[in-house]
Amino acid sequence: MKFDTPATTNPIDQLKVIGKPTDRIDGPHKTSGTAHYAYEHHEEPKGKPAYGVIVGAGIAKGKISSIDMAAAQKAPGVLAIVTAANAGKLGKGKMNTAKLLAGPDVQHYHQAVAVVVAETFEQATSAAAMVKVHYAPEKGRYDLAHAKAAKPEIKADKKKPDSKVGDFAGAFASAPVTLDVSYSTPDQSHAMMEPHASIAQWEGDKLTIWTANQMIAWGVGDVAKTLNVPKENVRLMSPYIGGGFGGKLFVRADALMAALGAKAANRPVKVVLQRPLIMNNTTHRPATIQRIRIGASRDYKITAIGHESWSGDLEGGSPEEAVAQTRLLYAGANRMTAMRLAVLDLPEGNAMRAPGEAPGLMALEIAMDEMAEKLKIDPIEFRVINDTKVDPEKRERRFSQRQLVECMRIGADKFGWSARKAAPGQVRDGRWLVGIGMAAAFRNNLTMKSGARVKLGADGVVTVETDMTDIGTGSYTIIAQTAAEMMGVPLSQVRVRLGDSSFPVSSGSGGQWGANSSTAGVYAACVKLREQVAQKLGMPLDAAFTDGNVSGAGKTASLRSAAAGGELLAEDFMEYGDLDKKYQQSTFGAHFVEVGVDMATGETRIRRMLAVCAAGRILNPKSARSQVIGAMTMGAGAALMEELVVDHRKGFFVNHDLAGYEVPVHADIPHQDVIFLDETDPISSPMKAKGVGELGICGVAAAIANAVYNATGVRVREYPITLDKLLKDMPAYV
């Protein structure tokens, strides 16, 4: 089915099941331990799995001179050791910038060098420590700031060129009020709860991998290409994933090394990445250095806006798209954005929750506050004046929906913005300096082709099968809600099966496209199934499906009677025409935060948080709220504590575990409020939904930074905002 015209009335609009705050149908499985995550498929492989432990590279750049495995091979329980020397010819998956197995070249620290397979995890761990790898180190590049200064190492991205509208340089030079400031964001880790883990099993030339992967079809393609086997010989299964945030979009070393280990040991093999290998071996959000220039007239209108961003990645990688939101968020006739990539020998930089907009808004939304202060105007009013209803770079293209101003107005009223003291350092609560801040939220709406298979049994049960994944977001539930709404049955009569590459290819989970796209695919399959049912029962194709019955042409019959002669099955997918070219589709929001900063120690505590979101139809307000408050929590971490510290001598992340890499805990996060605007977007999909899981992080860190400034008068432009940076410039309060 192709969606190329705005949807009008359809069965989803009944809203009997869709749009209701529904408990997760997979909740009982998770709380009872019957939801099996990647490492927990103990009974499904044929034969007792052995254990693999990966040896990570001890240098960041260079070559492997030799590997001494003699002691490890003689260790108790060892079944096999696989290195590049005996792995056979390997290809390179198109989704990965780095090779998943080093040899002889080493591209980054903790790149997999070997996997040791043994009868027990303890034996594999012990033997892995006996593998002696000898290296010929080479000089590497690990410092983004240094690379930025060494301009020959900085590259423009041909795939994502600079943008330019009007005469930015001239307009900026002639503007009566200007801002020219640089900001920096650090490398960050996904730090998901479930580690990367896989169990691999070969049956002849057929490979099955139970793994933690957000994009099943991408994963199958990458495994097949890397191992040089046909795609039809690879089956990936990820029915439950314990968090991903983009870190599990692509196949990583655990899956490849489990497959190689299983081949060498001739039995199933389980591999889990140790936390240090997750942070140094897998992808991370790369650091950025951003320069923002804004020029405005005395009547508060932006006349020039420029945003440049520098970030690093391995050779062949891409820059962090931190300028993406600046191309669309505010008006201004003269505009410029540019991204530059420094080739660094650090672990691969890639997608992390709201890639581009999350770090980009960390800078832009501070700059907007700084400009508002220069103009002596309220920060919200400055944003309202510079709102736009059209794409500022392509003015002929309007936004399908844009309620940014409404989000800010509603949030301001709910949060008590009118009581805010514009001058910083004016409000105290005992030893705490109190401030409030806000930031706009923006994330593009993306849709992906997505398919599903729907079955109707003689018992009236509707079964949905799709390779869509659930990374803790509630995919099982919203897919069940969609099928229940379409087929006119209660949720108790819907079964959902996900995360298996033998099912129809879905959108997968990522980029805030998963909920809208995957449910649209289920919608398409249900349309086909409804047609079959109507034909079986001799009713018109527009028959009504309600309460387990089908009605049309003056007749009513039970839904289950249509399958009395055998199961009915329908399969289809939703793909999209060119509506995204005719309309700019985006999601909007506003974040409000109150903080307290200890006037003696500089310790910052968040006191209140509010998010107001306009993101199309909210399919399940309960799970959507969970998505937003989780994203807000990640935004708090990004603002105040999260930073992968780079050893610029050796090229690795020093704090590569959850003892050194700090993330927010319950004590750091107060009660969070979320408001969803009543919005449907018929341009987006037949579901009239968008995405909200990444919108919730966009702007949060800047709102916190702006609140800290309002509390203390100290403007920190280098994240995270730690107490040492505040104390350095904080006035003496008595």
3-state secondary structure at position 372 = helix
What pLDDT does 154 receive? 66
3-state secondary structure at position 171 = helix
Q: In terms of DSSP bridges, do strands 586-598 and 432-444 run parallel, antiparallel, or are they unpaired?
A: antiparallel
| Confidence tier at 156 by pLDDT (50, 70, 90) | low
- Is residue 605 over pLDDT 90? yes
Residue ranges of domains in the chain, CATH in brackets: 2-35+447-581 (3.30.365.10), 42-139+195-276 (3.30.365.10), 395-443+585-729 (3.30.365.10)
What's the token pair of residue 290?
């951003």
Mean residue pLDDT across the chain: 96
- Is residue 155 over pLDDT 80? no
**5: amino acid identity, one letter:** T
What pLDDT does 97 receive? 82
What pLDDT does 385 receive? 98
What pairs with residue 675 in β-bridges?
612
End-to-end CA distance of the chain: 68
Contact 95, 250 (CB under 8 A): yes
Bin 699: left if φ > 0, else alpha if -120 < ψ < 50, else beta: left
Q: Report, as an integer, the average pLDDT of 616-640.
A: 98
Cis peptide before 286 (omega within 30 of 0): no
What's the token pair of residue 422?
């514009």
The residue count of the chain comes to 734
Contact 640, 722 (CB under 8 A): yes
Q: Give the DSSP H or E segment for 31.
A: helix 27-32
What letter would DSSP give residue 159? S
60-109 pLDDT, tens digit per residue, is: 999 999 999 999 999 999 999 999 999 999 998 877 788 999 999 999 99
Q: Which residues contact 161 (CB under 8 A, 6 or more apart)?
A: none
| Gyration radius of the chain's alpha carbons | 27
SS3 for 466-532, per residue? Answer: CCCCCCCCCHHHHHHHHHHHHHCCCHHHEEEECCECCCCCCCCCCCCCHHHHHHHHHHHHHHHHHHH
SS3 for 39-79, per residue? Answer: HHCCCCCCCCCEEEEEEECCCCCEEEEEEECHHHHHCCCEE
Q: For residue 297, how many other CB atoms are within 10 A of its CB? A: 12
Active-site annotation, residues = 694
Q: Which residues contact 195 (CB under 8 A, 6 or more apart)?
A: 39, 212, 272, 273, 274, 275, 278
**384: amino acid identity, one letter:** V
| Gap between the Cα atoms of 210 and 159, Å rounded | 34
φ, ψ for residue 682, nearest 5 deg: -70, -10
393-421 pLDDT, tens digit per residue, is: 999 999 999 999 999 999 999 999 999 99
Contact 619, 478 (CB under 8 A): yes
Q: Give the DSSP H or E segment for 30.
A: helix 27-32
What pLDDT does 96 receive? 78
What pLDDT does 85 receive? 97
Q: For residue 490, how many other CB atoms are within 10 A of its CB? A: 11
- Percent of the chain surpassing pLDDT 70: 99
What pLDDT does 704 receive? 99
Q: Which residues contact 664 (CB under 8 A, 6 or more apart)?
A: 633, 634, 636, 637, 640, 641
- Residue that is written with structure tokens 């039970």 in the block: 558
What pLDDT does 29 receive? 96
What pLDDT does 508 receive? 98
Annotate 137-158 with b (16+ C-beta within 10 A) or e (fewer). Answer: eeebbbbbeebbeeeebbeeee
653-693 pLDDT, tens digit per residue, is: 999 999 999 999 999 999 999 999 999 999 999 999 999 99
From residue 282, give the alpha-carbon distance in Å to each of 189, 261, 626, 654: 9, 19, 26, 15
Q: Is 94 exposed, middle or buried (0-12, 13-18, 19+ CB in 10 A)?
A: exposed
- Is residue 734 over pLDDT 60? no
| Gap between the Cα atoms of 655 and 93, Å rounded | 29
Contact 210, 198 (CB under 8 A): yes
Q: Is the dihedral of CA 274, 275, 279, 285 positive or negative?
A: positive
| Gap between the Cα atoms of 325 and 656, Å rounded | 30
3-state secondary structure at position 604 = strand
DSSP letters for 208-269: EEEE--S-HHHHHHHHHHHHT--GGGEEEE-S--S--TTTTSS--HHHHHHHHHHHHHTS-E
486-509 pLDDT, tens digit per residue, is: 999 999 999 999 999 999 999 999
DSSP letters for 403-460: -HHHHHHHHHHHHTGGG--SSTT--EETTEEEEEEEEEEEEE-----EEEEEEE-TTS
What's the token pair of residue 381?
């009013």
- Is residue 159 over pLDDT 90? no
Spatial CA neighbour of 109 closest among 661, 656, 652, 647: 652
| Confidence tier at 153 by pLDDT (50, 70, 90) | low
Q: Where are the alpha helices (DSSP H) in 141-215?
A: 144-149, 168-174
